[in-house]
Amino acid sequence: MDILFYYQVGVLKNGTRSLELSKQNKLGLALFCKKEGLLVTKEEFVQECWESKGVIVSDNTVRQTLFRLRSALADIGAPEDTLITQGRNGYVLKPGVIKVIDSDNVYEAAININAEPHHVSVKPSATADEATTAPEKSQRWPVSGQYALLALAVMLLFCGGVFLRYLFFTHEISFTHYKDEGGRAFFLL
């Protein structure tokens, strides 16, 4: 029984069953497959999944990620002893269970083999180039652009509020000289 791990797309496949892995599970499983049959320390696992990207995580996060990885392997039909914990030393992936495939083209071909046949109709007026090009995905602003736009909107609202406050709450005061009556000073407007 070979379980295929399509690294580029992060998918495990066993027969007709397939399962997409999270980013950390994908990186962790890639490390285990690279060191198949060898001990992978907790520090190596953390370095590969998080610290190489500048993220610091707790022991609980590491345990949770390993739990999810083991659950994914069980869901796909891997034997229970595929990923073994070696006391406080680290973890070992059982050799020969998972086969890593590094190309996403192979995954797409495997999907097309198992998929139902489908027919594509092409308009007679379309050229070969027009028929083979896929429609463009809708363009979205990157998250940093959205934050910049939000900051600009807040800044404009703030400046508009300051300007309106200046217009409505500041007045020029005009008065004549004061009048002194009985030791009291009166300012006349």
pLDDT digits (tens, 9 = 90+) for 128-177: 444 444 445 455 667 788 888 999 999 999 999 999 998 888 877 666 66
- For 3-61, the DSSP string reads EEEETTTTEEEETTEEEEPPHHHHHHHHHHHHTTTSEE-HHHHHHHHTGGGT----HHH
Residue spans of the domains in the chain: they are 3-114, 141-189
pLDDT tens, residue by residue, 97-109: 888 888 655 555 5
Q: Is CATH 1.10.10.10 correct for 3-114?
A: yes
**DSSP string over 82-135:** SEEEETTTEEEEPTTSEEEE--HHHHHHHHHHHSPP------TTS-HHHHHSPP
Rounded to whole angstroms, the Cα distance separating 168 from 47 reads: 59
The answer to whether the CB of 141 falls within 8 A of the CB of 149 is yes
CA dihedral (40, 48, 94, 78) positive or negative: positive
46 or 125: which leads in pLDDT: 46
- pLDDT digits 0-9 by tens, 9-30: 889 888 888 899 988 889 999 9
- CB-facing half-sphere around the CA of 45: CA atoms within 13 A: 28
Average of per-residue pLDDT across 47-61 = 88
Assess whether pLDDT exceeds 50 at residue 118: no
pLDDT of 113 over the 50 cut: no
Give the residue-averaged pLDDT of 20-45. 90
- Model confidence pTM above 0.75: no
Output the average pLDDT for the chain.
79
Instruction: Specify the pLDDT at position 137.
Output: 47
